[in-house]
Amino acid sequence: MRADVPFVDFAAHVGAMRPEIDEAVARVLDSGWFILGPEVEALEHELAAAFGAREAVAVANGTEALQLALAVRGVGPGDEVVTTSLSAAFTALAIQATGARPVFVDVDPLTLNLDPEAAAQAVTTGTKALVPVHLYGHPADMDPILALGRQADLAVVEDACQAHGARYRDRPVGTLAGEDGLGALSFYPTKNLGALGDGGALLVGDAGAAARLRQLRNGGQTDRYRHGTPGINSRLDELQAAILRVGLRHLPRWTERRRAIAAFYAEALEDAGLDLPREQGYARSVHHLYVVRHPQRDALAAALRQRGISTLIHYPIPLHLQPAFAPLGGAPGDLPVVEKAAGEILSLPLYPEMTDAQAETVVAAVRDSTCALSARA
C-alpha cells in the first residue's frame, strides 16, 4: 500500500505553533512598526543568547548575511575567497556580490564538508577569506581551518545557514573564531529555524563589527538619510522577527527530535547497502538534512517515489560545474570527491513533526528498494 511521506510538512509545522504565531503577528500589527523595530532588537538579543555569540545582527536573508560578513572583513573586488564546491549556490553568489572571486575546493569524503588540506593548497597571495560551510547541519572540522586563517592572515566566515545550534568541540558553530567570529544564519522556511518568508542573521564576536554590520544592512546610514558609507538594503521585517522568536523557543525540542530520527535511521539502515552520514567525534550535528549515498541514486529515488517517499538531492551539480560559474574555469575532474558525491547523494525525509510510523515507513521503503536494486545488479 502506498503511504505518502512528504519531504517536509509545513502545515503540521505551522499548525503546532499557530496560536503563538497569531499572537506574535497581532502584536506587530498593533504596534504599527514593521521594519527594524523592537521585535528585531529582541530577536537579536535572543539569538545571541541561544547561540553563544556576543551579538547577533538580523538581515534580510542568509545570502546577504554572508555578503555583509565578507564586506565587513574588507573583502572586495580582486580578492579570492576559498570555499567548498558542495553547497547551495548562494554561498558563492554572496562572495561574488562583494566583487570577489570564489575559489572552489574539494571536500572531506566522510563529512562532505570543506577539506582543510584542499583549502590550504588553494590559498594564494590574492586570497582574503575562507568560507567553510557546515553542510547538512554537521560542523566542518574548524580547528585546521581556523589555524590556516591565522597562519595566512585570512578572515574566516562560517556559513552556518544549515546548522542552527550545531556544536564543534562543544562550542556553538558561528562563533568559533571568538572575537573575530562571524557566522551566517539563514531563516529560509526549510531551515531548522525558519521564518514564514525569508530572513537571516549574523552571529558576531565583536561589538564594533556588529555596529558596522547594522550600518551596512541599512544602506550605510549613520543617521536618518545620512549615508556614511555604501551599504545595501538588507533589513529584516518585524513580522518575520516576531515569528522567528516563537520558533526559537521551540528549536531545542525540534533539534532533539531531528537527532532522534537520525539515530533511528542510522541503526535501521546500517545494513541496507547505503553510505550513511557519520557524526564525527568533534561534532554535534543538528541534522538539517539526512543525506545518504548510493551508487544507483537516481534509481533509488525513483523507487522511493513510487512508494510515496519524497526525496531531494542537495546538491546535484557541484558549484565549480554550474553554468553560472563557468567563467571561473571549473571543469569535470577538477574536484573528484565532490563530483562523485554529487552523483550519489540523496536526502531522506527528516523533520520534527515526522511521526515514528512515518520514519518506519521510510526505512521499510529504503530497505526494500536497495534490496531490489542489488538483486538486479
> Residue 322 in 3-state DSSP?
coil
- Please list the ranges in the chain whose pLDDT falls under 70: 1-3, 377
Instruction: Indicate the helix (H) or strand (E) that contains 28.
Output: helix 10-31
* DSSP, res 349: P
Cα distance between residue 197 and residue 290, in whole Å: 23
> Residue 77 in 3-state DSSP?
coil
CA proximity to 24, closest of 254, 248, 233, 251: 248
Look-up: residue for cell 521510510? 362
pLDDT of the residue at 2: 57
pLDDT of the residue at 262: 98
Buried b (16+ CB within 10 A) or exposed e, 56-86: bbbbbbbbbbbbbbbbbbebeeebbbbbbbb
What strands lie across the sheet with 155-156, from one edge to the other? 101-105, 80-84, 127-131, 155-156
Enumerate the CATH 3.40.640.10 domain ranges in the chain, comma separated.
10-105+112-244
Cα distance between residue 128 and residue 153, in whole Å: 8
Q: What number of H helices and E strands is found in the chain?
A: 11, 15
CATH of 10-105+112-244, one of 3.30.420.40, 2.60.40.10, 3.30.830.10, 3.40.640.10: 3.40.640.10
Judge contact between 40 and 238, C-beta under 8 A: yes
Enumerate the CATH 3.90.1150.10 domain ranges in the chain, comma separated.
251-376
Judge contact between 289 and 315, C-beta under 8 A: no
CATH of 251-376, one of 3.40.50.620, 3.90.1150.10, 3.40.50.10320, 3.40.50.450: 3.90.1150.10
β-pairing, 80-84 vs 101-105, is parallel
Q: Which long-range contacts (CB under 8 A, 24 or more apart) does 319-326 make?
A: 319/84, 319/85, 319/86, 319/87, 319/89, 319/91, 319/92, 319/102, 319/104, 320/85, 320/104, 321/85, 322/89, 324/89, 324/93, 325/92, 325/102, 325/104
Judge contact between 346 and 315, C-beta under 8 A: no
Buried b (16+ CB within 10 A) or exposed e, 23-44: ebbeebeeeeeeebbebbeebb
pLDDT of the residue at 223: 87
pTM of the predicted model as reported, rounded to 2 decimal places: 0.96
